[in-house]
Amino acid sequence: SNGTITCKILGKKECEARGMGAYLGVARGSETEPQFIHLTYKPRKGDINSKVAVVGKGLLFDTGGYNIKTAMMELMKFDCGGSAATLGAARAVGQLAPEGVECHFLVAACENMINDRAVVPSDILTASNGKTIEVINTDAEGRLTLADALVYADKEVGAERIIELSTLTGAMMVSLGKEICGFFTTDDDLAKELEDVSKKTGDKSWRMPMAKEYNDQLKSKVADMTNCGTRYGGAITAALFLENFVSKKKPFAHIDIAGPVWSDKTGATGFGAKLVTEWVTRQGQLKKEETEEEKKKD
């Protein structure tokens, strides 16, 4: 990266100091300690017009926890597909060295395993923004790790815009198959950007609805929310869950890449890396153009 990328790794104690109870709750079932990866890209020269963050789901293996998987467990090494896309994009961005943008690449890496300390259904976890989460299903663990990663991107990094990639739900594969990812955002400008970037890179995507009425599925009697809803609309309720961990007015997109990240014929596809790279490289110029337009109006 010629010095454009720096790396910081937060261990278990540093994550505990930040109150990352959702992420650490998932990680405590494994003998391998969690590692929170933070790569920062800054251009070698010029002003920084935009600070953005890319969050990738990093479940290095997912047994399902005590709600153990009864199928496809042998493929669960691909549950880190979001982090693979994120780290692959970081490498590409470092080589391309786009000007005007500072980007933070974040991965809350861990495993979802089973031992005498692992989370069980009915446990309540507290995320780093103070939100409490009733664990209904231990196999809905990715969103728990992402919750604390999103709070970190929002509050500690101070990113102005955030996108997140994850192999989050089987429901997305049922909806769009294995060639197309679905993305969720309430920000129309960000949606248009992702649609354009998708066409440019060939990483096919489709905008999905953020049906607020489905929030009823996440209601809990004993916590601020549950970690999953019913079997119906599961990809939507996952996106609605993640919204709780980013400031309401901040542009944010959740991208579910569960389908296209893996090919039964060839294995891992690297899906999402091109999409993220293109999106990041555009951010500095995009913000510059927006600033110039505002000056013209004044």
Pull the structure tokens for residue 292: 């110039």
β-strands 205-207, 50-62 pairing:
unpaired
Measured in degrees and rounded to the nearest 5, phi and psi for residue 281 equal -65, -25
The single residue of 42, 69, 204, 207 carrying the catalytic annotation is 69
Judge whether 165 and 56 are in contact, CB under 8 Å: yes
Burial class (CB in 10 A: 0-12, 13-18, 19+), 182: buried
Structural contact between residues 142 and 59, judged by C-beta atoms closer than 8 angstroms: yes
Kindly tell me the burial class for residue 33, based on how many C-beta atoms sit within 10 Å of its own C-beta (0-12, 13-18, 19 or more): middle
Q: Which of 18, 51, 57, 143 is catalytic?
A: 143
Kindly give, in sequence order, each residue whose CB lies less than 8 Å from that of residue 41, ignoring residues fewer than 6 positions away. Answer: 1, 4, 5, 90, 93, 94, 101, 102, 103, 104, 105, 280
Say whether 69 is catalytic. Answer: yes
How far is CA 19 from each of CA 16, 56, 128, 150, 259, rounded to the nearest angstrom? 5, 20, 5, 13, 32
Number of C-beta neighbours around residue 264 at 10 A: 7
Residue 107 CA to its chain's centroid (Å):
8
Q: For residue 55, report the phi and psi dihedrals to the nearest 5 degrees.
A: -110, 130
The Cβ of residue 77 has, within 10 Å, a number of other Cβ atoms equal to: 15
Any bridge partners for residue 41, and if so which?
5, 103
143 has catalytic annotation: yes
Would you name the residues annotated as active-site residues? Answer: 69, 143
